[in-house]
Amino acid sequence: MSKKFRYAATLSMAATFITTLLSTSGSHASAQGFNAPAAIATTFISQPVIQTIAQEQVDTAEPQDAITASSLADLVENTPAPAALSNELECLAGAIFFEAKGESLAGQLAVGRVIVARSQSGRFPASYCGVVYQPSQFSFIRGRSMPAINRSGHQWQNAVRVAVIADQGTWKSPVEGAMFFHAAHVSPRWGKARMAKIDGHIFYR
């Protein structure tokens, strides 16, 4: 009888041990099963949300950025000046200001578009600042710097707005595609194709 009791007790202990072992394994599997879908869900949800916001920003930005203008003067008047200028726009606006601040808006835009064309040509530095500060190109550059500018003045504000228009290409200049210009009071022997005279400058391809 005592042998049967010991045998039964041994079986009972073994059954208890196996049940405990299976219970522990099941708990670990459940934790893995819970964590994995949670990680997948996080990845799945985050991507559409980011893309949707970006797309909404693009869609809403397009109508706000579009400016309808009947003339260059109208476009300049309705083009907002950036609160802070990037280095590139600073260089472009500075060149327009010093080269053509006393000229018509068409003359200012023509100067700006030459700088844009040069930066995109592959024949000159690939940035507005690189074009403007290239040695022996612009007479107002002294020692790798521009003279001081009265930034509260109307002429500077115009130059900034014209620079934005030239940069974005929202209005073509009368000499679109010109790569060179010089003051009308000088006569360099360039041998280049002359396009037109605008105010105080003559433009060439």
- pLDDT score recorded for residue 104: 97
Which pTM value belongs to this model? 0.67
Q: What is the mean pLDDT of residues 82-99?
A: 96
Q: Are 137 and 125 in contact (CB under 8 A)?
A: no
Q: pLDDT, tens digit, for every residue of 95-119?
A: 999 999 999 999 999 999 999 999 9
- pLDDT score recorded for residue 63: 37
Q: What is the mean pLDDT of residues 31-57?
A: 30
Question: Above 90 in pLDDT, residue 32?
Answer: no
Q: pLDDT, tens digit, for every residue of 46-83?
A: 233 222 223 333 233 333 355 678 999 999 999 999 98
| Residue reference for tokens 């009071």 | 185
Q: pLDDT, tens digit, for every residue of 120-162?
A: 999 999 999 999 999 999 999 988 899 999 999 999 999 999 9
- pLDDT score recorded for residue 143: 82
